[in-house]
């Protein structure tokens, strides 16, 4: 059993801000992605069909006054996975996340950490590890102020350049 808190615990403990940087073009497959690839859309009017515990965790944090931001760095043309993520981001937005997209070619001069991560209240980082084919390989929790600061600064650089979700067109 891992001693690293689960996401739900970290976001429940969050008081001011949570930021998430995603940098992969492909993550592991899942039934919702596969359904979308087979032409099945989300019935946005049937919230129970798409609302997950994750969305509730975000909504609860936002209700407490936590600002939750997600930035995605993507290659263009985008992969099918990213095209699906863009489509289903509506759920993140409805939960209260702010989401932006940065084409990878616009990030060439940025020094970025090598892994996706979350930063909670500028004090903890949950680093995500994936295998080359996008499967989950584990997580670690970082609290060293220097390393937290590096990741927070990297996120802010990306956020400043990134395009708000409702303005970004997948290419």
Residue 108 in any domain: the answer is yes
pLDDT, residue 1, reads: 42
pLDDT, residue 30, reads: 86
Residue 53 in any domain: the answer is yes
Residue 63 in any domain: the answer is yes
Strands of 163-164's sheet in order across: 136-142, 124-130, 117-120, 17-22, 67-74, 98-103, 163-164
How do residues 7-27 score in pLDDT, each as one tens digit? 999 999 999 999 999 999 998
How do residues 92-108 score in pLDDT, each as one tens digit? 999 999 999 999 999 99
Comparing CA positions, the residue from 118, 144, 121, 140 lying closest to residue 129 is 140
DSSP-assigned letter for residue 45: T
- 135, two tokens: 């499967």
- 17, two tokens: 């801000």
pTM: 0.95
Q: Which residues are CB-contacts of 69 (< 8 A; sequence separation ≥ 6)? A: 17, 18, 19, 20, 97, 98, 99, 100, 155, 159
pLDDT at 2 over 60: no
Residue 47 in any domain: the answer is yes
Please answer whether residues 124 and 143 qualify as being in contact, where contact means their C-beta atoms are separated by less than 8 angstroms: yes
Residue range(s) defining the domain that contains residue 36: 7-167
How do residues 122-147 score in pLDDT, each as one tens digit? 999 999 999 988 889 999 999 999 99
Residue 1 in any domain: the answer is no
Residue 2 in any domain: the answer is no
Please answer whether residues 152 and 19 qualify as being in contact, where contact means their C-beta atoms are separated by less than 8 angstroms: yes
Say which CATH number the domain at 109 has. 3.30.870.10
Number of domains in the chain: 1
- Mean pLDDT, residues 137-160 taken together: 97
- Mean pLDDT, residues 148-163 taken together: 98
DSSP-assigned letter for residue 150: H
Residue 100 in any domain: the answer is yes
pLDDT at 89 over 70: yes
User: How much of the chain exceeds pLDDT 70, in percent?
Assistant: 99
- Strand bridging mode 98-103 / 67-74: parallel
pLDDT at 28 over 60: yes
């Amino acid at each position: 059993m891992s001693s690293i808190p689960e996401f739900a615990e970290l976001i429940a403990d969050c008081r001011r801000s949570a930021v998430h940087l995603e940098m992969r073009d492909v993550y592991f497959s899942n039934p919702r992605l596969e359904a979308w690839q087979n032409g099945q859309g989300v019935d946005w009017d049937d919230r129970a069909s798409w609302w997950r515990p994750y969305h509730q965790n975000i909504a609860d944090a936002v209700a407490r006054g936590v600002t939750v931001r997600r930035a995605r760095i993507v290659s263009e043309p985008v992969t099918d996975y990213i095209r699906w993520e863009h489509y289903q981001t509506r759920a993140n937005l409805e939960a209260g996340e702010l989401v932006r997209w940065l084409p990878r070619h616009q990030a060439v001069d940025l020094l970025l950490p090598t892994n996706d991560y979350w930063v909670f209240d500028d004090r903890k980082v949950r680093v995500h590890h994936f295998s080359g084919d996008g499967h989950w390989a584990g997580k670690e929790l970082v609290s060293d102020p220097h390393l937290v600061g590096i990741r927070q600064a990297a996120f802010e650089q990306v956020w400043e350049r990134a395009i708000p979700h409702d303005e970004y067109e997948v290419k």
